Chain A
Amino acid sequence: MLDTLLPILIFSALALAAVGAVRRVRLWRQGRSSPVPLIRGLAAMPRRYLVDLHHIVARDKTMSNTHVATAGGFVLAAVLAIVVHGLGLAEGVLGWLLLAASATMFAGSLFVARRRRNPPARLSKGPWMRLPKSLMAFSLGIFVVTLPAVGVLPAGGWLVALVLAAVVAWGLAELVFGMTWGGPMKHAFAGALHLAFHRRPERFSDKRGGEGRSTGLKALDLEDDQAPLGVETPADFTWNQLLGFDACVQCGRCEAACPAFAAGQPLNPKKLIQDMVVGMAGGSDARYAGSPYPGKPVGEHAGEPHGPIVARPSAQAQGRTALVDAETLWSCTTCRACVEECPMMIEHVDAIVDMRRFLTLEHGNTPNKGAEVLDNLIATDNPGGFDPGSRLNWAADLDLPLMADKREAEVLLWLGDGVFDMRNQRTLRALVKVLRAADVDFAVLGAEERDSGDVARRLGDEATFQSLARRNIATLAPYRFTHIVTCDPHSFHVLKNEYGELGGNYEVFHHSTYLHRLIEAGRLNLKAMKASSVTYHDPCYLGRYNGEYQAPREVLKALGVELKEMARSGYRSRCCGGGGGAPITDVPGKQRIPDMRMNDVRETGAELVAVGCPQCTAMLEGVVAEERAEVKDIAELVADALVENAAPGGAGNRPRRDTEEVAL
C-alpha cells in the first residue's frame, strides 16, 4: 500500500512545490530589472553556499553543525527519497544511504528542537517553533518507510501504512512545498537563488583566495530623469533585492548586533526585512513573530507591492501609517553590523539607504538637522556651514605644503571636515607631526578640498553626493600623487570605494595603515608608550567596510601596548553611533549608543581607548561618565611616542628639502 501512496505523495508535493515556485518568482519579479548572469550565478552558487555562507554560520559552531547535519541530511534524503520511493529503485546501496541520510537529519533536528526549547529573544517564534517537529516528522517518516524497502522490516498493515503516510505527508508539506509556498523552509529555496543572483556578486570569495568585499553604495542614475530616485514602494527594489529579503531565516543575528536596536531606537533589521517581505506580498505585519521595533507594537502597519513604504508626513499627522515609519529608517547608523552577521548575505544597509533616498530626494523630509546639513553642504561644501576659505585656518602655523603650489607629491593628505572641529584639529596636528618626522613628501588641498559626500549620501541625498564627488574628482585630476592618506575612515571609504563609479580611482590609505607602513619601513623612531591599559575601538567604516582590523593593532603593538580587547571588537565591533548621519537625524531611544560603547570599554578596565576616526572620537568623548577612559586617536599616540630629533629620516634635513620644493 505504501508503495502506491509514497510516489503519489512525493510527486504531488513536487508538483505543488513547482506551482509555489512560479508564484514566488512572480512576487520577486515585481521588482525593477537588474541584469544578472543566470548560468554563471547558478554555477557559483554551491561555492557561495559552502564557503561564504558556511563561514558566517560557523561563527556559532553548534548551530553550524546542526545545520550541516539537518540541511545536508535533508538534501540527500530528499533526492534519495525521490529515487527510492518515488521511482521505486530501492536496490542495493541506495536504500541504506537513504536510511543514513534521514538518520543524520533526525540527529540534526534534535539539536534544532533543543535550541527551540528556550529560544533566545532574537529568534522568531510563530511558525518557526513547529519546524523541529516537521523536520523530525520528515526524517523519521522517511526512515521508517525505508526500512521495509531495504528488507529490514516487513511492510505493516494498512493502518500502519496510513499513519506513516500521514507523517511523511506532514514532512513533505513543510519541507518540500512549504519551501515555495512560504513558511520557515522558504529560506532554502529563496536563499539558494539569492546566493546565485546576489546584487553584489563581488562580495563573495573566489578560488584564488580573494576575500571578497563590496561595501560601496551603488550610484543612482541622475542623468535619466525618468529613473526613480530611490525606493518608494516595495516594487521599486530590484528583483534580486526582493529575492534577498525573502531569503531571511529570521535568526535575528542582525537584531543582536544592531546598535540602534540595543539603544531602544525604533529599528530592528530583522523586522525591517520581514516588513519588506510583507510589502512584497501585500498585507499587514500582524503575523510577524519576532521582536518588534522597540516602542512600536506589531500589527499597526501594512503595505502592498505598489503602495508607499513610508507615509507622507501629512498622512502621518492624520494617524495613517504605511509599511514602515520614517524614524525606523533614520535610526540606522549604517554600521553594517547586520550585514556582517547575516548568514543569508542580505544587504540591509543598501535597502535602508535606497528608502532614505526617496525620503530625501522626493519627500524632502530628512529629519531634524538633516535639511540644514544638506543645505550647508550645497552652499558651503561642508556640513557645518563654515566658510570654505577657512579650511586651513587651524594650520596657520604649520605651513602645510599646498597641492596647488607643488602640483605633485607622494602623499595627498586628505584632511576631511574635521578641520573645522577643534578636537580633530589635535589629531590632524599629530598626524602632520608624524608625517614630517618620517620625512614624508605630502601636500594638502587646503581650501580646494570639499566634504567627501559621505554624510550627504547616507542621508539619501545622492544628488549632493554626486555633485561633491564630481567636483572633488575634478580638483584631484590635475595633481600627481601616489596615494591619498586620510585620518577619516568615512572619507577613506568614499574615496576608495564610491568615487570609482563616478570616475575617480585612487589608492587610498587610512592613516593607521599608512603609519603601520612607515613603522614597518623603519621611518619612525618610537619609544614605548606609558599608558598602562589600552583598548582599541574599530571604526565601522575602517573595519567592516574595508577589512582593516590589523594595521591599527600593529601600530599599537609597535608602541609597546598590550591591547585589552573588548568583547565586541574586530568585525563584531559595536558602532559609536556616529555613522550614517545618525547624530544629525538624532532619533531618540532609551539610551545612547556611545554610552553603550564606553560601557564596553569600561568592562575591559582600560584607561585609554585608541580610536581612528573623528566621528568615533567625538561620539565617545561626548560620553559623560565618572572615570571615563581617555579617548585618543592613533595618530596622537604615535606623535606622543616620537623620539624627537632622532628619526631615521632626520628632521634636520627638512628645511633644505623645502627650499628645493619652492624652487620647483
Chain B
Amino acid sequence: MPHDVATPAETELNVAVLVSVGRHPLTARARRADQDARAVEMALTLPDADVRLIHAGRHDDDSDSALRGYLGMGLASIGLLEQPSGADVVPALAAVLRDASPQLVLTGARAETGEGSGLLPYLLADWLGWPIVTGLAAVESVEHGMATVLQALPRGQRRRLRVRLPAIATVESSAPAARQSAFGPARRGGFDPETRDGVRDDALSEWHVQPARKRPKRLKIVKAASARDRFKAAAAKAQGGGGQVLEGATPEQGAEAIFKLLEEEGVVRRS
C-alpha cells in the first residue's frame, strides 16, 4: 500500500520504542525480546520516522548483549532509563514519554522476563491518557495527527483503525519478523543514560515467584467420518457462540454487560 506523502510539517514522525531484555525459551539466555524486536522493526520501516529506543532497567553484563541485539538492527543508541531491580518502571517511563512527547509509542505486548503480565502498555496509556492499539500489524499512513493502522485479529483477520496521536501500540507475533541483528552496529551503538527516580514496586516484593508449569491441554477429539469433515474441524473458527455486539452503549451499559458475562462464566460472584 503506498504511503501518503506527508505534509512538510509532518515529515518527521517521532516514534519511541520501548524495549526489554528477553529470554530464550530453551536456554534462558538473555536476548532481544521477540515482540519488542518486531516493534523496533515496525518503527524502522516507517517512512521518515525518527526512531528512539528506550529501555527502563539496568545495563549490566547480563543485559548488554540483549540490548545490543536491538542496536544491531541499525540504531545508533538506546535511551537508558536506569531503574533499580524490582522497581515499577511505569511512572518513570510515563514521565520520560511525557517529556519526549513522541507521536507514537511502540512496544511488544508482553515482556519475556519479570512479571510479563502484558499490563505495562495499558498502565502507560492510563497514566498518559493516550489511546492504545493492541496487535498492531501495520501502520498505513500518518496525517494530520491521525494514524491509519491495521490491527491483527485472530485467524489472520485484519481491522483498519484510525487512531488519534499520540498513541501507544503493542506488537505481537502477527507483526513482520525483526531484521537480523548485525555485530558491527551492535558493537558501535551506545547508551544514553537518563536517571529517573525508581519507584519501588511494593506489590511485587510480596509476591512469591516460581517457575511456570506447563498446563495440560485438553485434547480436541474430532469424530469425523470423512476427510472433508476432518478438514472442516481443523480449519473451523473457534466457536464463541454467545458473543454479543454492543453498539451505541453507554459506559454503564457496557460495564453491566461485561459484569454479567463474568458472572455467567463464574469469574466473579455477585455478593
Q: Of A363, A380, A385, which one neighbours B182 at CB under 8 angstroms?
A: A363
Answer whether residue A291 sits at the interface, using C-beta atoms and an 8 A cutoff: no
**Cα A366 to Cα B181 with chains together (Å):** 10
Inter-chain contacts of A463 with B (CB < 8 A)? 183
Give the B interface residue count (CB, 8 A).
17
Minimum distance in angstroms from A654 CB to a CB of chain B:
36
Please tell me if the beta carbons of A366 and B24 are within 8 angstroms of each other in the complex. no
Inter-chain contacts of B91 with A (CB < 8 A)? none
Please tell me if the beta carbons of B27 and A380 are within 8 angstroms of each other in the complex. yes
**Cα A62 to Cα B179 with chains together (Å):** 53
Please tell me if the beta carbons of A361 and B184 are within 8 angstroms of each other in the complex. yes
Answer whether residue A387 sits at the interface, using C-beta atoms and an 8 A cutoff: yes
Answer whether residue A365 sits at the interface, using C-beta atoms and an 8 A cutoff: yes
Please tell me if the beta carbons of B74 and A364 are within 8 angstroms of each other in the complex. yes
Please tell me if the beta carbons of B188 and A225 are within 8 angstroms of each other in the complex. yes
Question: What's the interface size class on A, roughly?
Answer: 20 to 34
Minimum distance in angstroms from A312 CB to a CB of chain B:
11
Inter-chain contacts of A365 with B (CB < 8 A)? 180, 182
Please tell me if the beta carbons of A225 and B182 are within 8 angstroms of each other in the complex. no
B-facing residues in A346-371 (Cβ within 8 Å): 360-366, 370-371
Answer whether residue A72 sits at the interface, using C-beta atoms and an 8 A cutoff: no
Interface membership of chain A positions 225-239, coded 1 if the CB is closer than 8 angstroms to chain B and 0 otherwise: 100010000000000
Please tell me if the beta carbons of B26 and A361 are within 8 angstroms of each other in the complex. no
Minimum distance in angstroms from A229 CB to a CB of chain B:
5
Q: A225-B187, A229-B184, A379-B31 are in contact. Are A364 and B179 (CB under 8 A)?
A: yes
Interface membership of chain B positions 60-103, coded 1 if the CB is closer than 8 angstroms to chain A and 0 otherwise: 00000000000011100000000000000000000000000000
Q: A225-B187, A225-B188, A379-B31 are in contact. Are A360 and B182 (CB under 8 A)?
A: yes
Please tell me if the beta carbons of B185 and A374 are within 8 angstroms of each other in the complex. no
Inter-chain contacts of B73 with A (CB < 8 A)? 364
- Residue on A nearest B23 in the bound complex, by CB: A379
Inter-chain contacts of B24 with A (CB < 8 A)? 379-380
Minimum distance in angstroms from B177 CB to a CB of chain A:
9
Inter-chain contacts of A371 with B (CB < 8 A)? 179-180
Minimum distance in angstroms from B173 CB to a CB of chain A:
14
Please tell me if the beta carbons of B180 and A362 are within 8 angstroms of each other in the complex. no
Please tell me if the beta carbons of B188 and A388 are within 8 angstroms of each other in the complex. no
Interface centre among A360, A362, A363, A364 (most CB of B within 10 A): A364
Answer whether residue A488 sits at the interface, using C-beta atoms and an 8 A cutoff: no
**Cα A225 to Cα B29 with chains together (Å):** 25
- Residue on A nearest B22 in the bound complex, by CB: A379
Answer whether residue A461 sits at the interface, using C-beta atoms and an 8 A cutoff: yes
Interface membership of chain B positions 178-211, coded 1 if the CB is closer than 8 angstroms to chain A and 0 otherwise: 0111111101100000000000000000000000
- Residue on A nearest B30 in the bound complex, by CB: A379
Minimum distance in angstroms from B23 CB to a CB of chain A:
10
Q: Of A381, A386, A388, A461, which one neighbours B183 at CB under 8 angstroms?
A: A461
Please tell me if the beta carbons of A364 and B72 are within 8 angstroms of each other in the complex. yes
Minimum distance in angstroms from B181 CB to a CB of chain A:
6
Inter-chain contacts of B187 with A (CB < 8 A)? 225
**Cα A374 to Cα B180 with chains together (Å):** 9
**Cα A365 to Cα B108 with chains together (Å):** 23
Inter-chain contacts of B179 with A (CB < 8 A)? 364, 371
**Cα A380 to Cα B27 with chains together (Å):** 6
**Cα A434 to Cα B73 with chains together (Å):** 48
Inter-chain contacts of B185 with A (CB < 8 A)? 362, 364
Q: Of A229, A360, A380, which one neighbours B26 at CB under 8 angstroms?
A: A380
Inter-chain contacts of A378 with B (CB < 8 A)? 29, 31
Q: A225-B187, A225-B188, A379-B24 are in contact. Are A362 and B182 (CB under 8 A)?
A: yes
- Residue on A nearest B178 in the bound complex, by CB: A371
Minimum distance in angstroms from A118 CB to a CB of chain B:
48
B-facing residues in A378-430 (Cβ within 8 Å): 378-381, 385-388
Minimum distance in angstroms from A377 CB to a CB of chain B:
12
Inter-chain contacts of A380 with B (CB < 8 A)? 24, 26-27
Q: Of A364, A370, A381, A462, which one neighbours B181 at CB under 8 angstroms?
A: A364
Inter-chain contacts of A386 with B (CB < 8 A)? 26
Inter-chain contacts of B31 with A (CB < 8 A)? 378-379
Beyond the given A362-B182, A364-B73, please list 5 additional residue pairs across the A-B interface where CB-CB is below 8 A: A362-B185, A379-B26, A385-B26, A386-B26, A463-B183
Q: Which residues of B contact A (CB under 8 A)?
A: 24, 26-27, 29, 31, 72-74, 179-185, 187-188
| Pairs A–B under 8 Å by Cβ, sample size 19 | A225-B188, A229-B184, A360-B182, A361-B183, A361-B184, A362-B183, A362-B185, A364-B72, A365-B182, A378-B29, A379-B24, A379-B26, A379-B29, A379-B31, A380-B24, A380-B26, A380-B27, A387-B26, A388-B27
The 6 closest A-B pairs by CB, nearest first: A364-B182, A371-B180, A364-B180, A362-B184, A379-B24, A463-B183
